[in-house]
Amino acid sequence: MGQNKATYDQNPTFRVKGEFLTWTGFEAILNELSSAVLKLDKANAVLVIEGYPGVRMELIKQALENHFTEAELIFADKFALTGEEIRRKFDMLITDDRVFGRMAPITLEDYFKKERLAELRLQVAHSKKPLTIIYGTGASLAAEADLTVYVDVARFEIQKRMRSLEMGNWNDTNVDEDILRKYKRGFFLDWRAADRMKVSLFHKIDYYIDDNSLNQPKMLKWSDYCLGLTEMLSGPFRFVPYFDPGVWGGYWMKDKLSIVHESEKLAWAFDGVAEENSLYLQFGNTRIETPAINAVLKYPLELLGELVFSRFGAELPIRFDFLDTMGGENLSLQVHPDKEYIKKQFGMDYTQEESYYLLDAEDEAVVYLGLKDGVEAADLLAALRQAENGDAPFDADRFMHTHKAKKHDHFLIPSGTVHCSGAGSMVLEVSLSAYIFTFKLWDWGRLGLDGKPRPVHIHHGEKVINWNRSEKWVRENLVNHFELLEETDLHTKERTGLYGTEQIVTERDWFTDYVDYDNSEKTVNMLNLVAGEKVVVESINNTFEPFEVHYVETFVIPAQIEKFRIRNIGNSEKVAILRARIQ
């Protein structure tokens, strides 16, 4: 890439073909809903407005009260469990830990006492008004709707509202609670239950509202929204990335990618995480922001393919993200659980297998990976506990093996391997999407951005460390374990990653002109332009329009695309694509 700044698109937008009706602002939206109710031509009509946990329901409440003065308005949240009742009922799932809870197949109905839900349904049934509107999270449990509206918000936007102390968890007063605890409850409970409700309503929704912008809700017909998703999934697409600061953050992303962000340094970027990222869909002059997970939940076979869907369900299991320590600090020393431990302890069906691909590195950059030969478990754990108690700093150089890191190295990190990226690195992290299950063992004695010690989980980590991952074994199995697959004057294809226990295979293509890709196994692909200015993804059989990709942009090839071509169209003599898929 050289020293020039990349043309990185921070706001990738898919433009949906055709003409569409959209409504922006509460006045326009509620006027349209009033018109839709009239067209029902029905006495005692029922309008349900279902909201994802984290939408600004108080603003919706005010707008409804001002507009529908003759309707009976019923706020479903008032019939649900209070925050205190939720914490008591789900205590075993929420746990006392700041970070980790437990997965369980709970539904939104579990957030309501049976007698209170019966009261809600009875109030709707007894309404004498010409229009009854039930709104809130769980509103669709109250009655069979004549008209259903779904109000949605992106996962990262929810986190920003929690961090700013605008809100706590759904139906709770825990606004001031630690963000890690609020995120934990959302991740393990609230968002899971709400996603199940959302899926159950897919065949009932009439209108979809984007609630991501303050006082600027945007609405379109559900049928048009679905059309947009299906059109997007007919070709390559990108998630909307987000960038976040951290104690170990660096300057590379802001410098090389010209990222606009209020923080001086950035630590993370999520550029390919379906559960966290959003999508931008352009309908005429209106841009809709929507959670990327909706595409996975609504069209799993088209996006994931049968192989991935049968193994993981409606989840996109591949994750691409960036870790920036250029001019920053080491990541925490950490380990990920094996499949047996994560299943029994947290209810997760798969674990976080990962790898570090080096996009850039300073001269002295290293990766901590594996234990030094001869390290005794008792000695390592004693030293970690001493450091946790503040008795003495942890001597990482005594216990950990370091590997010099340079640009385009690829380090495989199967579960159980103690590891961390050192300072002076820009990492593309490729992993399975069980992405919060990191057991920190040592965090270099520093505080988080909130001024609190970052959570350390030695009691979990000691149970999953693979003590056989020593210097020689790691060097032979996990460091630049490249396999040449094809080589010509114009093209080199290598397999760069797939340790025996890992499910993600990665391949790197270096080429000067173009490469044709075969996806006859019909599985989802995630790719990144790891070297070169720009490329274009082309359809070999003219099923999608050319799709331009710039340096280090992550993009997705849905499973239903069986063949595609990537062509070098920039000023770089040679480019490189890293491709990941489930195998």
Locate 361 and state its tokens. 């590195």
Whole-number pLDDT of residue 284: 96
Residue 93 and residue 573: Cα distance in Å, rounded?
Answer: 54
Which of 188, 181, 159 is closest to 96 using CA atoms? 181
The answer to whether 146 touches 39, Cβ cutoff 8 Å, is no
User: With 50 as the cut, is the pLDDT of residue 551 above it?
Assistant: yes
Name the band, by pLDDT with cuts 50, 70 and 90, for residue 4. Answer: low
Mean pLDDT of 311-319: 94
Whole-number pLDDT of residue 198: 98
Sheet holding 131-136, edge to edge: 22-24, 218-221, 207-210, 147-152, 45-51, 131-136, 72-75
H/E element, 166: none
Q: Which residue's structure tokens are 């019966």? A: 118
* Predicted confidence (pLDDT) per residue in 127-161, tens digit: 999 999 999 999 999 999 999 999 999 999 999 99
Locate 237 and state its tokens. 């697409």
Helix pair 26-40, 57-67: axis angle to 10 deg: 60
Least confident span in 3-12, 52-61, 280-289, 464-473? 3-12
Locate 525 and state its tokens. 């692909």
Q: Which domains does the chain have, with CATH numbers?
A: 14-232 (3.40.50), 242-279+300-477 (2.60.120.10), 483-582 (2.60.120.10)
Residue 566 and residue 513: Cα distance in Å, rounded?
Answer: 9
487 versus 497: which is more confidently predicted?
487
* Predicted confidence (pLDDT) per residue in 323-334, tens digit: 999 999 999 999
User: With 80 as the cut, is the pLDDT of residue 31 above it?
Assistant: yes
Name the band, by pLDDT with cuts 50, 70 and 90, for residue 1. Answer: very low
Whole-number pLDDT of residue 172: 97
User: With 60 as the cut, is the pLDDT of residue 107 above it?
Assistant: yes
Residue 500 and residue 209: Cα distance in Å, rounded?
Answer: 45
Locate 417 and state its tokens. 């391997």
At 137, which amino acid appears? T
450 versus 151: which is more confidently predicted?
151
Name the band, by pLDDT with cuts 50, 70 and 90, for residue 52. Answer: very high
Whole-number pLDDT of residue 502: 79
User: With 50 as the cut, is the pLDDT of residue 219 above it?
Assistant: yes
Residue 414 and residue 426: Cα distance in Å, rounded?
Answer: 20
* Predicted confidence (pLDDT) per residue in 458-482, tens digit: 999 999 999 999 898 999 999 999 9
Contacts of 440 (CB under 8 A, 6+ apart): 332, 333, 334, 454, 455, 456, 457, 461
Name the band, by pLDDT with cuts 50, 70 and 90, for residue 501. Answer: confident
445 versus 231: which is more confidently predicted?
231
Whole-number pLDDT of residue 583: 85
pLDDT-above-70 percentage for the chain: 99
Locate 161 and state its tokens. 């509202």
User: With 70 as the cut, is the pLDDT of residue 555 above it?
Assistant: yes
Residue 409 and residue 574: Cα distance in Å, rounded?
Answer: 17
User: With 90 as the cut, is the pLDDT of residue 451 above it?
Assistant: no
Q: Is the dihedral of CA 530, 535, 540, 542 positive or negative?
A: positive
Neighbours of 183 (CB within 10 A): 20
Least confident span in 212-226, 417-431, 488-502? 488-502
At 483, which amino acid appears? E
Q: What is the 3-state secondary structure (H, E, C) of 488-524?
A: CCCEEEEEEECCCCCCEEEEEEEECCEEEEECCCCCC
* Predicted confidence (pLDDT) per residue in 72-92, tens digit: 999 999 999 999 999 999 999
Whole-number pLDDT of residue 2: 42
Contacts of 223 (CB under 8 A, 6+ apart): none
The answer to whether 430 touches 318, Cβ cutoff 8 Å, is yes
Contacts of 444 (CB under 8 A, 6+ apart): 329, 330, 332, 333, 394
Chain centroid to Cα 200, Å, comes to 22
Name the band, by pLDDT with cuts 50, 70 and 90, for residue 3. Answer: very low
206 versus 339: which is more confidently predicted?
206
φ, ψ dihedrals at 157, nearest 5°: -65, -40
Least confident span in 190-199, 286-295, 490-499? 490-499
Alpha helices (runs of H) in 389-539, residue ranges in sequence order: 396-399, 458-461, 471-477
Mean pLDDT of 231-238: 98
Whole-number pLDDT of residue 499: 76
Whole-number pLDDT of residue 434: 72
Locate 446 and state its tokens. 């520093």
Whole-number pLDDT of residue 554: 98
* Predicted confidence (pLDDT) per residue in 392-436, tens digit: 899 999 999 999 999 999 999 999 999 999 999 999 999 998 768
At 321, which amino acid appears? D
Residue 356 and residue 540: Cα distance in Å, rounded?
Answer: 32
Mean pLDDT score of the chain, rounded to an integer?
95
Burial class of 255 by CB neighbour count within 10 A (0 to 12, 13 to 18, 19+): middle
